[in-house]
């Protein structure tokens, strides 16, 4: 699992939002806090996939203690907004290009994706 700390916030007259201090531009909004929290993992996953497609790696995730020293985060927390941990399953980050390559290799061998991956894992593990 990949974890990142987000800030859940709501200002008067606005939607609920989650933004990630370590990931500039990675944000989501919804009518409810629950909705924003539900959307946050998908937004995080898409953001990480876009970075990977551009050949970039995400910056290291700062701990909550370190984030509290960030003026923007400190201000948000002082205003009553909440720090939340958002997690993404690393397996969900297999991008479309990788899936297409796997599917093409499986098709050349007359196998399903699942069977191809299973056989590749067995071969890699030298079982």
Return the H-helix or E-strand segment holding 22. Answer: none
Q: Where are the domains of the chain?
A: 2-93, 94-127
Q: Is the pLDDT of residue 27 over 70?
A: yes
Neighbours of 68 (CB within 10 A): 13
Domain 2-93, CATH 3.30.160.250 — does that match? yes
Give the pLDDT band of residue 10 (cuts 50, 70, 90): very high
pLDDT, mean over the chain: 89
At 6 the pLDDT is: 98
The pTM for the full model equals 0.71
Q: Is the pLDDT of residue 127 over 80?
A: no
Q: Which position has the token pair 């993992």?
A: 41
Please say if the pLDDT value at position 94 is more than 70. Answer: no
| Among 23, 16, 19, CA closest to 47 | 23
- Spatial CA neighbour of 75 closest among 11, 3, 4, 30: 11
Residue scoring higher pLDDT (9 or 115): 9
Task: Quickly list DSSP for 45-103.
Answer: HHHHHHHHHTT--PPPPPPHHHHTTSHHHHHHHHTT-EEEEEEE-GGGG--HHHHHHHH
Higher pLDDT, 117 or 92: 117
Q: What is the pLDDT of residue 92?
A: 64
* pLDDT tens-place string over residues 36-92: 999 999 999 889 888 877 778 888 989 999 999 999 999 999 999 999 999 988 766
pLDDT at residue 96, rounded to an integer = 65
Relative orientation angle of helices 96-108 and 113-125, to the nearest 10 degrees: 90
CB-based contact 95:50 (threshold 8 Å) = no
């Amino acid at each position: 699992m990949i974890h990142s700390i987000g800030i859940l916030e709501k200002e008067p007259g606005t939607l609920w939002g989650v933004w990630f201090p370590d990931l500039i531009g990675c944000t989501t909004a919804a009518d409810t806090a629950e909705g924003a929290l539900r959307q946050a993992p998908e937004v995080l996953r898409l953001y990480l996939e876009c970075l990977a497609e551009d050949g970039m790696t995400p910056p290291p995730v700062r701990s909550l203690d370190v984030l509290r020293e960030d003026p923007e985060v400190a201000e948000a927390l002082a205003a009553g907004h909440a720090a939340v941990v958002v997690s993404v399953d690393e397996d969900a980050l297999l991008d479309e290009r990788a899936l297409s390559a796997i599917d093409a290799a499986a098709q050349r061998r007359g196998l399903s994706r699942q069977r191809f991956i299973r056989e590749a894992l067995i071969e890699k593990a030298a079982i």
